[in-house]
Amino acid sequence: MTLERIEHRACFGGWQDVYRHASETLACGMNFAVYLPPQAQTQRLPVLYWLSGLTCTEQNFITKAGAQRYATEHGLILVAPDTSPRGEDVADADGYDLGKGAGFYVNATQAPWSKHYRMYDYVVSELPALIEANFPATEARAISGHSMGGHGALIVALKNPGRYRSVSAFSPIVAPTRVPWGERAFTAYLGEDREAWKAWDAAALIADATERLPLLVDQGDADEFLAGQLKPELLQAACAAADHPLELRLQPGYDHSYYFIESFIGEHIAYHAHALKA
């Protein structure tokens, strides 16, 4: 496994880097971003993984969220992968919500997607193994994300009890089996059997969660996708039925953009830091 460092920028006393590697899981070249705060020069640090939303690459979070300030403040490493496999031989589709930039953090079972679209395995296994082997990282992990990436963070934490110390999400797609974005992607990646989709749906997974890991969710009430695609009330109902701890905060006036994320990422990083250092 060789890692090629393709960006290296001083930022808040640490380094905002981007690496490129050949992913075995995804069978293609992938970029991921790593922020190493100054504390990483002398000690191993816990890691917060960030999963981005539709259309994003590893760049959006590192250029727009202003998260590095808080990572330096709390001594966390930030890792942000791309949102899908990439490359000329990777299957794609029309529209921003399927194919490249729209991996939905599942393992596809259907052709032509199943050849490369295994973002779940990449995020849960290959990427952390690579981070923990090549960077000054401990095995203390937290996960967060936005929109499609908020869905990713929630299912990754719910499906892997004990593997993450904390989880949070901004504007997540909480019930992809019941909204247009998810229905289109899951039909393509997972096939027509809707029962099989439930293994990738946060609201559906809550009923069987064996770990009571609290969910912290921030949602803007002026989000243009709130009623049609995000539907936080479905997660709220599932958590209430299963007595699963959820802090859902409706933030007045905020939309779906990075202006929302940058406004609250400091609170999320403080929340994860508290769990990671407990």
Does 262 contact its own copies by CB under 8 A? yes
DSSP assignment of 191-233, as one string? -S-HHHHGGG-HHHHGGG-SS---EEEEEETT-TTIIIII-HH
Task: Bin 147: left if φ > 0, else alpha if -120 < ψ < 50, else beta.
Answer: left
Answer for which of 222, 240, 241, 270 binds its own copies (CB under 8 A) is: 222
Q: Which stretch binds its own copies (CB under 8 A): 12-20, 50-58, 120-128, 184-192?
A: 12-20
Please give the backbone phi and psi of residue 260, each rounded to the nearest 5 degrees, phi first. -70, -50
**Contacts for 192 with CB less than 8 Å, ≥ 6 apart:** none
Answer for which of 122, 170, 260, 271 binds its own copies (CB under 8 A) is: 260
Does 254 contact its own copies by CB under 8 A? yes
Does 12 contact its own copies by CB under 8 A? yes
State which of positions 41-100 bind its own copies (CB under 8 A): 63-64, 66, 68-69
Buried b (16+ CB within 10 A) or exposed e, 203-222: bbbbeebeeebebbbbbbee
Does 214 contact its own copies by CB under 8 A? no
Nearer to its own copies, 16 or 177 (CB): 16
Nearer to its own copies, 64 or 115 (CB): 64
- For the annotated catalytic residues, the residue numbers are 147, 223, 256
How far is the CA of 40 from the CAs of 37, 76, 80, 240, 278, in angstroms? Answer: 6, 8, 17, 40, 19
Answer for which of 73, 92, 132, 255 binds its own copies (CB under 8 A) is: 255
Does 267 contact its own copies by CB under 8 A? no
Does 220 contact its own copies by CB under 8 A? yes
Rounded Cα distance, 23 and 41, in Å: 27
| Structure tokens, 89 | 């031989």
Does 16 contact its own copies by CB under 8 A? yes
Contacts to its own copies by CB under 8 A? 9-13, 16, 63-64, 66, 68-69, 220, 222, 251-255, 257-260, 262-263, 266
